[in-house]
Structure 1
Amino acid sequence: MRKTAAKLLTVAALATSLATVAGGTAVADPATGVTPRAIDIVGVGSDTTQSVLNQLAADYNASLTSSTSPRLYSWDAIPAGTITTKTGATAITRPNGSGAGITALNANTSATVDFARSSRGPVATDPTTDDFVALAQDAVSWAAKSGGNAPANLTTANLKGIYSCTITKWNQINASLPNATIKPFLPQTGSGTRSFFLTAINGGVTPLTPGACVNSSVQENQGSDTQLNDINALVPYSVAHYIGQVYFGKGTGADVQGPLTIRNIDGNAPVDTVNKVISDTFVATQYGRVVYNVFRDAEWNATDAHGTALRAIFGAGGWICTNGATDIQSYGFLPLSPFACGSVTHS
């Protein structure tokens, strides 16, 4: 799989970008009473990037001066049920997660879904006709209840042992830790964060198959889940999403860190707490990732009005890559350099 180069803006430049307040107001799903038109550009999928896409959509739409220009909309990963994504579309089950979003993209046409939000990159099982267009830089670490039995740091080997269920007690990691049963959690099947994390702790090639001790019933990046309010629980967590929740007040309702604090891996802290960004050191490990929006290749490369609109919003030199840095950073992500933002990767 070809890797997208992800050269980042400097921390100083990012801090400066935050001095400008993003215009517009993000909403969950299209605003009440608003049904996207057939010509509008509509996405579904990842929980991790839904909030930043909502904000980008609000600000992009506010920038338009013509009522006939396609608007940008993004449907959240939850609540469960069916959604009619745009006027004239057939109702579909709401896709929850990157995998479900990509499946919906490939099962439908632009009459229903134009793109899928994805917090993972392409894998061998994805159609080669899917274009993964780079959006921003993220990373994945793990989180646990503040004051619980989990240590401040776990190694990659520790995490692999925990999620394969060969390490089941904290004192197997360190004799000074309690003789208590570890409770490992994963996001729902289809989550890009789940897929990425299991691959990272398994050497970066294929995802680890979780053991029978692992509970896969939590929604990703929601520390409010009562199951996680346990002194022995741990769960993978998007570093950007955590930063947005903790430092920039982006979490609302169930989408908050709750009692969880994000922890180190292999001695590397995921958050630069001084600058309130993902740590450069952590990004450089196998736990750094690029998040994407996925398009059908034929539409992405089309010379018609639809293809032109897709590239004008998401492509290199498009609206997001030239105007979206403040929104991206305010949700905890790192903007990509102009050389990486909008670049295309295939499986």
Structure 2
Amino acid sequence: MTRIRTPLTEITGVEHPVVQTGMGWVAGPRLVAATAKAGGLGILASATMTLDHLEKAILEVQERTDRPFGVNLRADASDAPARIDLLIRHRVRVASFALAPKPALIDKLKENGVVVMPSVGAAKHARKVASWGADLVMVQGGEGGGHTGPVPTTLLLPSVLDAVDIPVVAAGGFFDGRGLAAALGYGAAGVGMGTRFLLTRDSAVPDSVKQVYLGYGLDGTVVTTKADGMPHRLLRTSYIEGLEHEGRLGRAFRTARRTMAYKRLSSSTWRALLTDGRAMKRDRTWTQTMLAANTPMLLRAGLVEGDTDAGMLASGQVVGMIDDLPSCEELIAGIVADAITHLTAANHAIS
């Protein structure tokens, strides 16, 4: 198979410039290993794992494959240094971050041979992490699922490419070879995809939930702050529609119930939850912070337990373009082959 070499493949050691993003409750060892075996960069989602669970997940991926993979970390978590030590000890190739890690954490990772790839939503944030020593940066446009911003990828990507000299991975709205070819044409080093990898046979999301996703069109998602206090792109389920009309008392009760459930599941202490809450707060109100702390449980209800009536289903707008459930191998091979076809056709158009 013909390969596309970019700074992403050179720096990380993967075969193809395709990244499976670190989706909570979705990006577990099975999906990450399947992505790695197929030549892409699989990213374990660790925010919903305890430290012990993360170590077990890393070891399971390494038992399944000897190819490079990464782990997504919360830079503001109280145990972030311990998680970084774990990555270093087990020689994980890539550390990705949803929030920018401090320069000291970046330095420690790089000194130990770990590639650092933060995700950003604005050019100014890309400039900051680049100046701190990040190896690559991922940008997600507003089309992407989960927490997202208002700027579409077609505008965010070139603004970041103009702002930094390090390689940029484009995410938000990608699902096929045409998208990879377009991203490379912009100057990106590859693409990141979440919803497309969720909808594969290698994803551990229940099949019944996958079928729910496949039933939605391009208008099937909504960006709402009612779920966890921050803009969040989700499937437009009856549960999400109901949140728009929920009163404060009902929301407070639901938040308290989910917080208790998450405490039990994560084995966290109240001190740790409070510490993480303070770090998470930033520009949020305390009400928004409490809602955000409940996000893991709301996502778990839908993506793990399969209860689409009581949980959130994060999704990019690309859900409306997807109608199949390939394996990761079939998906990545098809994307790369299709991208090469489009890149070759574009090259032949130049006279």
Q: Which has the higher strand share?
A: 1
Asked if Structure 1 and Structure 2 have the same fold, meaning a TM-score greater than 0.5 normalized by the shorter chain, the answer is no
TM-score (norm 2): 0.30
TM-score (norm 1): 0.31
